[in-house]
Amino acid sequence: MSINKKGMPDACRFHVGDAVSVLDSWCDDCVDLTVTSPPYENLRDYNGYSFDAAKMIQAIYRVTKEGGVCVWVVGDKINGGRSLVSFDHAYHARNAGFVVHDVMIYQKKNTPFMRANAYTNCYEFMFVFTKGKPKTFNALKVPTVRHGWERSVSNKGPDAVNRKRPVELKKEKVRTNIWQYAVGLGGSTSDRVAFQHPAVFPEKLAEDHILSWTEAGDLVLDPMCGSGTTCKMAKVHGRRWIGVDVSEEYVEIARQRLPDDTLLSAVL
Ligand SMILES: C[S@@+](CC[C@H](N)C(=O)[O-])C[C@H]1O[C@@H](n2cnc3c(N)ncnc32)[C@H](O)[C@@H]1O
């Protein structure tokens, strides 16, 4: 692994190992954005590493630049009731020093999960943790249903007389913080190889956060990169990137998903 002791990490690389140990050799304040999703619940053992959310979040906080962002995508285990582990993670982030800048919803369009005695769960949280105030926010917009010039509904002055006048309704408005994505093959990604990993999140989700919180050339990290979705979208959009995963097998999938540079110049 080519990293100077407590130095700037080399970008555009995958690392196999426990992310807490890998990040420990990096200098402070070097990452602009993390987009990541922890293993399902804290309970699993991945290649002998038991996942410790608090330590992982502390490590991410230390390497995040002032004004940098960490998007933490997490759902609760539902077994009888909801585990609420997602909220534990949000408190770990606050304890580490992050601001809980937003609690966004990742809504799944086609959800396979059913419960006999409760409504079908169709979302996970996307916590947006920031180190201070976010230094970049490129608001994503959606087209408005009505736009152009219309008479205002109300324009009452202090004399209570309603002087309706033409107002211009904008063609676009800033999105809400509920983002909806199709999941599965053709939804999350068209890369068949990705589904050798059990928990791929949508490329579009990673892309939307990368475009929102970074500029070209910024460094994007996924310390639990799995099949490499965040790294792929960072590369496609001209950001530097680093992916870490404890599983060599998953990192091999991620390597296969990254577009080569010839392909990339066609995309950009
Ligand atoms: C929910 S998956 C991430 C999936 C990824 N977002 C994607 O689109 O493929 C969580 C990943 O965390 C990895 N992981 C678990 N503990 C880890 C640790 N201590 N350090 C690095 N990676 C870890 C697992 O191997 C798993 O691939």
**Domain termination site, one of 150, 174, 198:** 174
- Same-domain check for residues 259 and 126: yes
pTM > 0.85: yes or no: yes
What's the distance, CA 173 to chain centroid?
Answer: 22
> Do 78 and 124 fall within a single domain?
yes
Residues 242 and 160 in one domain: no
- The predicted-structure confidence for 127-146, as pLDDT tens digits, reads as follows 999 999 999 999 999 999 88
Q: Which atom of ligand 1 is nearest to the CA of 38?
A: 10
Q: Let me know if residue 5 belongs to a domain.
A: no
Among 67, 82, 76, which residue's Cα sits nearest to residue 33? 67
Residues 41 and 167 in one domain: no
Going from the Cα of 144 to the center of ligand 1, the distance in angstroms, rounded, reads 37
User: Closest by alpha carbon to 60, among 99, 31, 91?
Assistant: 31
Pocket of ligand 1 (CB under 6 A): 18-19, 37, 39, 46, 49, 51, 197, 199-201, 223-224, 226-227, 229, 244-247, 250
**Does some domain include residue 2?**
no
201 and 157 belong to one structural domain: no
134/221 same-domain check: yes
Nearest CA to ligand 1 atom 12: 224
Ligand 1 pocket check: which of 37, 46, 208, 227 to mutate, most ligand atoms within 8 Å of Cβ?
46
Q: Which long-range contacts (CB under 8 A, 24 or more apart) does 260-268 make?
A: 264/235, 264/236, 267/236, 268/236, 268/238
255: domain range? 13-140+176-267
Residue 115 and residue 176: Cα distance in Å, rounded?
A: 28
How far does residue 222's CA lie from ligand 1's centre (Å)? Answer: 9
Contact in structure between 24 and 55 (CB atoms under 8 Å): no
Span 204-240, pLDDT tens digits: 999 999 999 999 999 999 999 999 999 999 999 999 9
CB 231 within 8 A of CB 254: yes
What residues have CB less than 8 Å from 3, skipping those under 6 apart? Answer: 9, 10, 25, 26
When divided into structural domains, the chain yields a total of 2
Is 69 within a domain?
yes
The HSE-up count of residue 5 (CA atoms within 13 Å, CB side) is 0
CATH at residue 210 = 3.40.50.150
pLDDT per residue of the chain (268 residues) written in tens, 0 to 9: 444 457 899 999 999 999 999 999 999 999 999 999 999 765 455 555 668 999 999 999 999 999 999 999 999 888 778 889 999 999 999 999 999 999 999 999 988 667 888 888 999 999 999 999 999 999 999 999 888 888 777 777 888 887 778 888 889 999 999 999 999 999 999 999 999 999 999 999 999 999 999 999 999 999 999 999 999 999 999 999 999 999 999 999 999 999 786 555 555 4
Which of 225, 227, 253 has most ligand 1 atoms within 8 Å of its beta carbon, as the pocket-test mutant? Answer: 225
Interval between CA 56 and ligand 1 midpoint (Å): 11
User: Is 180 inside a domain boundary?
Assistant: yes
